[in-house]
Structure formats: structure tokens, C-alpha cells
Amino acid sequence: MSELVLINVSGRDKPGLTSEITGIMGRYDVRILDIGQAVIHDHLTWGILIEIPDESHSSPVIRDLLFRLHALNLQVHFAPISEEEYLQWAEGRNRACYIVTLLSRDIKAEQIARVSAITARHGLNIDNISRLSARPSLNSNGNRIACVEFSVRGTPADLEQLRSDFLHIAGEMNVDIAFQEDSIFRRNRRLVVFDMDSTLIEAEVIDELALEAGVGDQVAEITERAMRGELDFSASFAERLALLKGLDESVLAGVAARLRMTEGAEHLIRSLKSLGYRTAILSGGFNYFARHLQNKLGIDYIYANELEIENGKVTGRVAGTIVDGQRKAELLQEIAEKEHISREQVIAVGDGANDLPMLSQAGLGVAFRAKPLVKESARHSISTLGLDAILYLIGFRESESKQLGVER
């Protein structure tokens, strides 16, 4: 009869430990059923589940391991595992696996406690916890970025309530919490589509143009209501655009020059391009400014409204069909088909109510610094960090930035 033994080792890490431990096991034809290791601040925690082919051989294996690990000044614990326990554990590995991503400026113990309390309450067990962000500096005064990822397993009874619970504590603690299935598509996205205004850039361009036209307050009030979903986008867009009639074409270049990129936007785009992603702007704004960003960032596709200009003056109309929420969703599908990828491989990012259709179409839809209605309706949201926090949602580690040559 074979014997199953779980071995846990802890102590100061040093090169060659895995070779030493498994080398001893190898002399007894031991079979490895599971293995895992974590190192935090040079302290090792190492676990291995083994099958010893002949029960009579367990004592020599354990004896030799115990002597060697003691000599290496490591702590060790042996626990026999029954076949029933093993089969029950193995069956549990077939349950659905999810990823919970905690995003914050600083990770606090209370945040970990409350996130893990919710996963436990919904019947999810934490398999693994990893830090994806860089190790924090003790003296940093700038915009810190912190991310911890939980791999959890189980079958929650109410996924919508689970997401609602995460959204609630995220608001209370001023953090972002993403919850997604750990599917084959998570690290196999191929296309990211962005809204432009208040997503890739900090401003609403139509509001900036309105300032130049002397109707800033009127247009800004309509824009705010439209982005909250209180007004039909196409109708409100036409109303705002009409107020720009007579604006001189020469002001466009000045507005484009002063547009500020959103925090993390340039780092995100550089990283995505280095990883081979395709990128697109799907905007209810204007092509003139989308082309400006395309040239600056190297965006692959742009779709926005063509501001009609006659005799050097804005007419207050657009040429062609308005790019509204439904059109954005259609464009997302069209680009995906052109790139020969599925919708599950698309990430969509936006902030306004008119972005919700495309967010719902994408495999990963992210409401970025969005209005409350949008944040509550989208499956994922980022409010506390910059746009490049999206990299963490696809499992990107800060250390990988060095390999890509795109460090912040």
C-alpha cells in the first residue's frame, strides 16, 4: 500500500533547497502529487504532497528529510493524508476558479480582511495570493500604486450579490475590487478599445470647444447630464454641437495642444503595444482630436464624429452618422471580426453612459473613473488608480515592465 504525506517546510530561503529536498525523495521513488512555494522577504514557505509507493518506506523518507532539514535550520511538519481526503481535495480543484484583484494606492490589512471575509461568506476558498505591483518604497511621496491578486475557488450561490458586496466595500475603503472568472481568455486578450474624452484624456473636448465659443457653462451642464445617462446621447450631442456654430477652425489646434493625457494612459498604451495588442479609439467626440491622439500614442483604429467645417467655421453639425453608444458596440464587433478574434478577447474602457453598450459587449468591460450609474452597471471599474491599472486585470506584473522596456 502506498502512503500519502503532506510536507510543509519554512525558514530562511537559500539556493538549492528544492533540489536538496526532492533529491532525498528521489532515492525512494516518491511521486509528487502537488507542490507550491512562496518567498516573502527571503522567508520560504514550501509545501509538497507526496505518494510513497510502499508504506514500509515512509519512515526512512521522513527520517532522512527530518535530519537534513534540521541541519539546514528549517522547520518541517509532516501530516498523513487519507485517500478519502485526497479524493475530496482533488474533486474540489474542479470547481470554478475566479480572480479577485484589489487595487489601491496602499494595501492595508483592513482591505485584505474585508475582501477575504466576502469571499469566505460566499463559499469561495483562497488558493493563492500574489502581489502584482512593485515592492513599495518606504519613503515614496508620489502617486503610489498597489495591487494584490487573489485566486479563489468555489461555487458562489449569487454572483450578482457577490459583486455588489465588493462594490460596496470598495466605495467605503476608496479602493477598486475586480472579480472575474479565471478563464483561458484572461491573459489572452488581443484588442483594447477606448472611449476618448474623460478616459484617454482628462477633458471633454466639446466642453473645451464650448469655452472657446463662449458657451462653456451651457454645454458643460448638458455634457454632465448626458454622461450620467439622464439625456439621450445623440439628441444632447446635437444640441451641444449647435451651440458651437461659427467657431473658428483655428482654435482646434490650440485645444488639441493643451489636452492632458489621463494618468497611466501612455504607460498602458506602450505596454499593450509591446505585448502585441491592437488598440482603438471609439469616441462620441471628434476625429480631429482622435487623430491627434493616434499620432501621439500609435493607436491602430480611430472612429469618432467628423466635425463639419465650412469656410473655416464650425457649422454646428457633424458629417455622417453620430457615433453613439450603439454605434460604439457595433464598431467593437466590426474591429474584432477584422482582427479575427472573439469578443471575449476584447477589453473596452469608458466612463459615460454611452459607453455601456460596448462595455457589455467586451470580454472585459471597465468603467474608468465613471459616473455612479456607469460604475454600478459595468462589471468592472477603476476609480482610485490610473488607466494602466488595467494591466493588473489581465495578470500583468510590474516586474514584467522591465522585460518590455516600458517602465513608468
Q: Which residues participate in catalysis according to the annotation? A: 195, 197
Question: What sign does the dihedral 318-322-323-324 (CA atoms) show?
Answer: positive
What one-letter code names the amino acid at 271?
Answer: S
> Is residue 49 within 8 Å of 81, Cβ to Cβ?
yes
DSSP state of 248: B
Report the candidate in 12, 14, 54 with the shortest Cα–Cα distance to residue 30. 54
What one-letter code names the amino acid at 282?
Answer: L
Q: Are strands 191-194 and 346-350 parallel, antiparallel or unpaired?
A: parallel
CA-CA distance, 150 to 245, in Å (whole number)? 53
**Rounded to 5°, angle at Cα 233 from 228 and 235:** 130
375: how many CB neighbours lie within 10 A of its CB? 20
C-alpha cell at 228: 450620467
Q: Are strands 301-310 and 278-286 parallel, antiparallel or unpaired?
A: parallel
H helices, E strands: number in the chain: 16, 15
CA-CA distance, 250 to 235, in Å (whole number)? 27
Q: Is 47 exposed, middle or buried (0-12, 13-18, 19+ CB in 10 A)?
A: middle
Residue 366 vs residues 47, 370, 391, 394, 406: alpha-carbon distances, Å: 37, 9, 12, 12, 23
H or E segment and range at residue 21: helix 17-26
CA-CA distance, 270 to 265, in Å (whole number)? 9
Strand partners, 157: none
C-alpha cell at 101: 484583484
C-alpha cell at 272: 499593450
CA-CA distance, 115 to 107, in Å (whole number)? 12
